[in-house]
Amino acid sequence: MVGNNISILLTVLIGVGLSMLTISSISFLGLTESFSQTTETQSKSSSSLHITKHSSNSYALSSGSSHIGSFDTTYNILGSVSSIKESKDLITSTIINDYDKSPFIGYVIVQKGKSSSSDSSKSLGLANPFADKATINAKIKSEIQKAIDSTNKINTKEAVIKCNFGMEISKWNCSTHGLIG
């Protein structure tokens, strides 16, 4: 009787396993077909863009306290030249929104020895060496727009724009590079 129960149990398990395999295969085939249709649709429209971000920072520890050391953020925008041009505003707003959330936004230096305030000579005390959010956003927009405009000078279909935003706003820049392919 025990042997008979094991035989029945094995038959049920094999049946369930085959049923699951069949359902999985059907689901997989359905997904493949759906993916193929999506890919065909995407290839007829403009290609996608990719923005990657790499940030690095350091902290200085002294006398029992922690201070921000150096920091740097690099954005890479990769895609077809036509897609980059078509998405100029979206690229710019995406990077500005991301940088606005950075914990270092309040520590960007305008320029060594200069202040972000135009009337700093009239104020008493030390000048504020840090850039305000409006200045930071204007610089990001300006650098990205210049890089996108420079895609007119490259003779490739694909490009990468690399933006380096470090501690000193006067050194921020974006450069455009054509990709072979």
What's the predicted TM-score (pTM) here?
A: 0.68
Do 57 and 41 belong together in one domain? no
Give strand pairing partners of 179.
158
Strand order in the sheet with 50-62: 50-62, 65-80, 158-165, 173-179
Domain of 29, in residue numbers: 1-45
Residues 157 and 172 reside in one and the same domain? yes
Tell me what pLDDT residue 126 has. 83
Which stretch of 17-21, 32-36, 109-113, 120-124 has the lowest confidence by average pLDDT?
32-36
Same domain, 104 and 171: yes
Same domain assignment for residues 108 and 155: yes
The answer to whether residues 108 and 150 belong to one domain is yes
Task: Give yes or no for residue 52 having a pLDDT over 70.
Answer: yes
pLDDT at residue 37 tops 80:
no
* Same domain as 94, residue 33: no
Q: What is the pLDDT of residue 1?
A: 56
* Residue 130 pLDDT level (bands cut at 50, 70, 90): very high
pLDDT at 80 over 50: yes
Give residue 180's pLDDT: 79
Q: Is there a single domain that holds both residue 65 and residue 38? A: no
Query: What one-character-per-residue DSSP string does 25-38 give?
Result: HHHHHHHHHHHHHH
Cβ-contact 95, 165 below 8 angstroms: no
* 109 and 68 in a common domain: yes
Kindly give, in sequence order, each residue whose CB lies less than 8 Å from that of residue 126, ignoring residues fewer than 6 positions away.
Answer: none
Lowest mean pLDDT among 6-20, 111-125, 143-157: 6-20
| Domains identified in the chain, total number | 2
Question: Beta 65-80 vs 158-165: how paired, if at all?
Answer: antiparallel
CB of 132 closer than 8 Å to CB of 139: no
Let me know whether 61 and 102 are in one domain. Answer: yes
Specify whether 41 is located in the same domain as 59. no
- Residues 32 and 111 placed together within one structural domain of the fold: no
Q: What is the rounded distance in angstroms from the CA atom of residue 172 to the CA atom of residue 181?
A: 29
Q: Are residues 2 and 85 in the same domain?
A: no
Amino acid identity of residue 175, one-letter, is: S
